[in-house]
Amino acid sequence: MSTGSRAEAGKKLEQYWNSIASGDGSIPLRSAFKLSSATAPILPYTVIFEVCEGDLVFRLAGTGIAAHQGIDITGRRYGEFAAPDQVVRAIARVKACHALPCGFVSVHREEYGRGDASEVEVTGLPLRGDEEGGEMMVLVVTPIERGLSARRAEPLFMRPASRIEFIDLGSGTPDDAAIIATLQKQQPHRTEGAP
């Protein structure tokens, strides 16, 4: 997934992230991400989450996300909408994005309880928590294709990523296959079926 083929909202997020980064390779604080003319067009489709107690907690989800998904995920955990092995892989990838630092672009399918589904492109970039420097990510979610799915008892299910690519922010990118291989050695029963 080259930069040229990415959704426009993802490119705008990356431009804004670069504008708030210090240039010394450090990850911006959450408080640096502000409502501005640069973020206003993407804010409805913006999500900020934090790694917390073995899961990802959605700290902010834009109104466009809530309307598209049919549920406001603010304050909810990723594990409520994804399989346990997906949560383990997601946390490992977030930690990799903080270690370098780098971003990512992924594509996955979301299925909604009302019986439709959407393929979405997600661009994510790292942020640090203001108080303790916790691992956070800011995402912009762009729907790219809609379709039908079986009705679900739960309002939202996020399928595993069908594609993921890391974004080089000047420090290089990790090898996703190596991340997954390490996880499989550590927790073989929890990471089957990657991506």
Query: Is 20 part of any domain?
Result: yes
Q: Beta strands of 42-148 (E only): which ranges?
A: 46-52, 55-61, 102-112, 116-128, 135-148
pLDDT for the residue numbered 189: 60
Query: Is 143 part of any domain?
Result: yes
pLDDT for the residue numbered 62: 97
pLDDT for the residue numbered 3: 47
Distance CA 164, CA 97 (A): 13
pLDDT averaged over the chain? 93
Query: Is 115 part of any domain?
Result: yes
pLDDT for the residue numbered 171: 93
> pLDDT tens digit string along 121-173?
999 999 999 988 899 999 999 999 999 999 999 999 999 999 999 999 999 99
Q: CA Rg, the chain, in Å?
A: 16
Query: Is 191 part of any domain?
Result: no
Query: Is 146 part of any domain?
Result: yes
Query: Exposure string (b/e) for 138-174, b if CB count within 10 Å is 16 or more?
Result: bbbbbbeeeeebeeeeeebbbbbbeebbbbebeeebb
- CATH number (domain holding residue 121): 3.30.450.20
Reported as type and span, the H/E element at residue 67 is: helix 63-69
- Number of domains forming the structure of the chain: 1
* 146: containing domain: 3-184
Query: Is 189 part of any domain?
Result: no
Q: Which residues sit opposite 123 in a β-bridge?
A: 105, 140
Query: Is 190 part of any domain?
Result: no
Mean pLDDT of the 73-77 span: 98
17 burial class (0-12, 13-18, 19+ CB within 10 angstroms)? buried
Q: Which tokens sit at 155?
A: 């309002």
> pLDDT tens digit string along 17-38?
999 998 888 999 999 999 999 9
SS3 label, residue 92: helix
Query: Is 28 part of any domain?
Result: yes
